[in-house]
């Protein structure tokens, strides 16, 4: 079985992180002898890959000459894997190849098309529809996304497996506390929000809700970048609150430091297939305030305090309580650590291996 390594040539966002850490952990489980392959697992990487492949010891890595990544995936990859199965973990896949295993993290191009440009929406709607029929199996990251896939693609639920994401990659990093003075924020006196400029992240409403808080010494740190080739960016217009810190992209070490010292993490998103940041925050001991929307209650469970993401009053009320109710935050902090422990890359990799075992690709060691 071949594995689509296009993600190795892309900057790390949610789907690339998922693919990378699941495969690294699969490799470790094979190395430890917990699972045995019935056929070789070959990771095909573009020659332009950004991320190191030396860490893979049981997955064979082969490079395929690459120019434009989309053409690599749609032309070179199907030719290199002709007649064999292909596992795709990062959302995209060759359009017309039969018998693939495709991972669709969400169906936002159907549910929230206004968040993306027209070309992106049309392409992924076509890809999902075609591969909904041609794929041997589909994977996704939550029961919410599974239900939406079955609804939009009209596939039998038995064809779709769920392999959750995780956040314990944060444990590998030493927190870089230098980010706090650099951003001019005080421990315990700022909220943190993480995500792209995709309108589904609902940052414009978060900024407006925060602007209504009277505390002059409180900050809102917004972490994340944007991709105007994909998202229909919408800047928060009419709000120039000096208390809002736009940090841009940060390293995991810097992000960990911000999680550890934040008053609370705020996740206002109206649409998520899984949502890694709240689980990352929980793992780092940061209380989570989250939108009651899409997959978020499924993933965060009883460990988050929920608000209505379409209500400024509801969102602002949750943040206002977080500024004065230490006992409440302590309970969220404890519940969050317990909840985050359920989502590990070991569990995700085991879930993927179980899916592959059902196809006869691997088996548990005797």
Ordered domains of the chain (ranges, CATH) = 2-166+344-364 (3.40.50.2000), 169-340 (3.40.50.2000)
What confidence score (pLDDT) does residue 225 get?
A: 67
What's this model's pTM, rounded to 2 decimal places? 0.92
Please give the structure tokens belonging to residue 181.
């003075």
**Three-class secondary structure of residue 275 per DSSP:** coil
pLDDT at 229 over 60: no
What confidence score (pLDDT) does residue 238 get?
A: 41
pLDDT at 224 over 90: no
Which one-letter DSSP state was computed for residue 7?
G
pLDDT at 228 over 60: no
Cα of 207 vs its chain's centroid, Å: 22
DSSP class per residue in 232-247: -----TT---TTEEEE
Mean pLDDT value of segment 91-111:
96
pLDDT at 236 over 80: no
pLDDT at 233 over 80: no
> Rounded to whole angstroms, how far apart are CA atoms 329 and 37?
46
pLDDT in tens, 40-86: 999 999 998 988 888 999 999 999 998 899 999 999 999 999 999 99
Asked if 285 and 269 count as a contact pair (C-beta separation under 8 A), the reply is no
What confidence score (pLDDT) does residue 328 get?
A: 98
Mean pLDDT value of segment 311-318:
98
pLDDT at 262 over 90: yes
Average pLDDT, the chain: 94
Q: Which residue has the tokens 């689509």?
A: 4
pLDDT at 196 over 90: no
Asked if 39 and 361 count as a contact pair (C-beta separation under 8 A), the reply is yes
Mean pLDDT value of segment 100-109:
97
Banded pLDDT at 239 (limits 50, 70, 90) = low
């Amino acid at each position: 079985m071949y594995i689509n390594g296009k993600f190795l040539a892309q900057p790390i966002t949610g789907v690339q992180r998922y693919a990378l850490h699941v495969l690294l952990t699969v490799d470790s489980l094979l190395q430890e002898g917990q699972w045995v392959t019935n056929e070789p697992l070959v990771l095909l990487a573009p020659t332009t890959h950004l991320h190191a492949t030396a860490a893979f010891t049981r997955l064979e890595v082969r490079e395929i000459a690459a120019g434009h990544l989309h053409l690599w995936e749609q032309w070179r990859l199907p030719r290199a894997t002709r007649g064999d199965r292909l596992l795709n973990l990062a959302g995209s896949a060759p359009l017309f190849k039969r018998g693939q295993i495709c991972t669709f993290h969400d169906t936002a191009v159907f549910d929230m098309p206004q968040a993306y440009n027209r070309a992106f929406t049309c392409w992924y709607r076509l890809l999902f529809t075609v591969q909904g029929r041609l794929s041997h199996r589909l994977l996704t990251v939550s029961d919410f996304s599974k239900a939406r896939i079955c609804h939009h693609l009209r596939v039998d639920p038995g064809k779709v497996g769920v392999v959750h994401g995780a956040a314990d990659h944060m444990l590998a990093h030493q927190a870089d506390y230098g980010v706090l003075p650099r951003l001019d924020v005080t421990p315990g006196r700022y909220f943190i929000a993480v995500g792209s400029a995709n309108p589904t992240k609902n940052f414009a409403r978060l900024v407006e809700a925060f602007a209504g808080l009277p505390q002059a010494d409180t900050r809102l740190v917004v972490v994340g970048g944007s991709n105007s080739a994909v998202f229909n960016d919408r800047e928060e217009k009419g709000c120039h609150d000096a208390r809002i810190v736009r940090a841009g992209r940060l390293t995991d070490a810097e992000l960990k430091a911000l999680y550890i010292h934040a008053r609370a993490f705020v996740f206002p998103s109206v649409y998520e297939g899984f949502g890694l940041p709240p689980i990352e925050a929980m793992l780092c001991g940061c209380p989570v305030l989250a939108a009651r929307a899409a997959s978020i209650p499924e993933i965060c469970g009883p460990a988050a305090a929920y608000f209505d993401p379409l209500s400024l009053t509801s969102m602002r009320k949750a943040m206002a309580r977080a500024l004065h109710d230490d006992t409440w935050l302590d309970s969220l902090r404890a519940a969050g650590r317990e909840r985050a422990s359920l989502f590990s890359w070991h569990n995700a990799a085991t879930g993927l291996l179980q899916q592959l075992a059902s196809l006869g690709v691997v088996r548990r060691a005797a």
